[in-house]
Amino acid sequence: MRVFFSNLGCKLNQAEVDKMSRRFVAAGHELAPRLQDAELHVINSCTVTHLAARTSRKTARRGHRLDPAMRTVLTGCYATGSPEEAAALAGVDLVVTNEHKDELVERVHAAFPEAIPSGSAALDIPYVPLDFGLSRALVKVEDGCNMRCSFCIIPLTRGRQRSRTVQDVVEEVRSLAAGGYPEVVVTGVQISEYRDGDRRLFDLVAALLEQTDVRRLRLTSIAPWKFDRRLLSLWQDERLCRHVHMSLQSGCTETLRRMRRPYSAAQYAELAEELRQAIPNLALTTDVIVGFPGETDAEFEASLHFVEELKFAKPHIFTYSPRDGTRAAGMSDQVEPQTKKQRVAAMLAVAEASERDFAASQIGEASTVVWEERKSSPDGLGRRWTGLTDHYVRVWAEPEDTDNLSGRLERVRLTRAVVGGAMAERLAA
């Protein structure tokens, strides 16, 4: 079968789609470049907000609308949180909840035996480089979460925290590096909670740096209440991206308390400062929720001011939306939609300025970039190679270069700020 994947939501979902793609290819299927070319549409859904759930439903109906013969398989957090509703959507043939996601290929084969390719015993081949997207591979090292933040549906859809072994992750990263991926992103719901026996995230990252040839390694979302200071020493290895994503959610301690987040704004600021002292020129990115129940004007102002002060390289702003089954959904003092809208606009303005200022602060600095594709550059000078630096700044190559740079890791110097990032000159290796 020709299979097309639609991914919604977080990096963890993207990591899962990468892995599912490799398993489908290993089983003898092909990847379709566009939905209209597919015979099977797999959607890794999300339900973190109302909007994400709605987009998941819309995406699930898309394949069947294009071609009624196309099979549709819905998996991920929306499918897990509302399996009956998901199964009843027009055109959905199969729902696979998160706990069975790793057996998706087998479940598809069981549901559609006519689609099993001959010789599909090749399923044992774990990693097959894809024909596209050779710039970055996402590797899931753990899943689930034991916390109960009052706004979050994830513990209900992904279950309790569990981790892969260090050895298993090391082998996957070795295969990906050997398969040509210049960058590997270590991802999960709560990578700070990673544990393999008495080995923690520090031991895992140290093993990946020592035992693999991965050329660039990036960590996703670190918990501010669970930062293992031993990790700081690992940034002496230049292969570890000078980028830390640490979710804030609110810059107001009172709001954080109602969110059931176990830290204060001041503790977050202290840790951010410690990271910046230890990792020169660090890119600190974060998530912020606006309009959480009970958020007063003063609380919002405190959060806005905090985000401004912390000078994040990229704050991701989310509007709070209640998710059934969470404690916050039942709180009586929900914020009016109009108020949320105004606050989000104000927070986005701060976030955009902060991102722009960080990119501007990198002008003149040397960095590494993994080139991805040629795209129109924002300065109107035509199509240029673009990619992300180790600081997570989007750059475009100048001067124009027609060589195929896709998936190449190179040293660059950032030359000038442009909308959405910076221009960069390629430096000799």
Residues at the interface with ligand SF4 (CB under 6 A): 145, 147-149, 152, 154-155, 189-190
Residue closer to ligand SF4, measured from CB, 42 or 145: 145
Strand partners, 199: 196
DSSP 200: E
Spacing of C-alpha 311 from chain mean position: 21
Residue closer to ligand SF4, measured from CB, 148 or 162: 148
What's the min distance (Å) between Cβ of 36 and ligand SF4?
Answer: 35
Residue closer to ligand SF4, measured from CB, 82 or 221: 221
Residue closer to ligand SF4, measured from CB, 9 or 387: 9
Strand partners, 73: 42, 94
The 10 Å Cβ neighbour count of residue 2 is 15
What's the min distance (Å) between Cβ of 315 and ligand SF4?
Answer: 16
What's the min distance (Å) between Cβ of 223 and ligand SF4?
Answer: 6
DSSP 198: T
Nearby residues of 219 by Cβ (< 8 Å), 6 or more positions away: 185, 186, 191, 205, 240, 241, 243, 244, 245
Torsion of the alpha carbons at 52, 58, 64 and 65, rounded to the nearest 10:
-150
What's the min distance (Å) between Cβ of 56 and ligand SF4?
Answer: 18
In whole angstroms, how large is the CA radius of gyration of the chain? 22
What's the min distance (Å) between Cβ of 10 and ligand SF4?
Answer: 9
At 172, is the secondary structure helix, strand, or coil?
helix
Residue closer to ligand SF4, measured from CB, 141 or 154: 154
Phi–psi pair at 187, nearest 5 degrees: -135, 165
- Tokens for 375, please give them: 């795209």
What's the min distance (Å) between Cβ of 17 and ligand SF4?
Answer: 19
What's the min distance (Å) between Cβ of 190 and ligand SF4?
Answer: 6
Residue closer to ligand SF4, measured from CB, 9 or 63: 9
What spatial distance separates the first Cα and last Cα of the chain, rounded to whole Å? 42
What's the min distance (Å) between Cβ of 143 and ligand SF4?
Answer: 10
Residue closer to ligand SF4, measured from CB, 96 or 154: 154
Residue closer to ligand SF4, measured from CB, 150 or 361: 150
Give the span between the Cα atoms of 273 and 55, in whole angstroms: 38
What's the min distance (Å) between Cβ of 339 and ligand SF4?
Answer: 23
Please give, one letter per residue, the 3-state secondary structure of 38-87.
CCEEEEEECCCCHHHHHHHHHHHHHHHHHCCCCEEEEEEHHHHHCHHHHH
Give the span between the Cα atoms of 425 and 397, in whole angstroms: 6
What's the min distance (Å) between Cβ of 325 and ligand SF4?
Answer: 12
Give the span between the Cα atoms of 74 and 422, in whole angstroms: 38
Residue closer to ligand SF4, measured from CB, 92 or 145: 145
At 325, is the secondary structure helix, strand, or coil?
coil
What's the min distance (Å) between Cβ of 260 and ligand SF4?
Answer: 8
Contact 216, 241 (CB under 8 A): yes
Give the span between the Cα atoms of 276 and 150, in whole angstroms: 29
Strand partners, 373: 386
Nearby residues of 113 by Cβ (< 8 Å), 6 or more positions away: none
Residue closer to ligand SF4, measured from CB, 154 or 370: 154
Residue closer to ligand SF4, measured from CB, 246 or 423: 246
The 10 Å Cβ neighbour count of residue 9 is 20
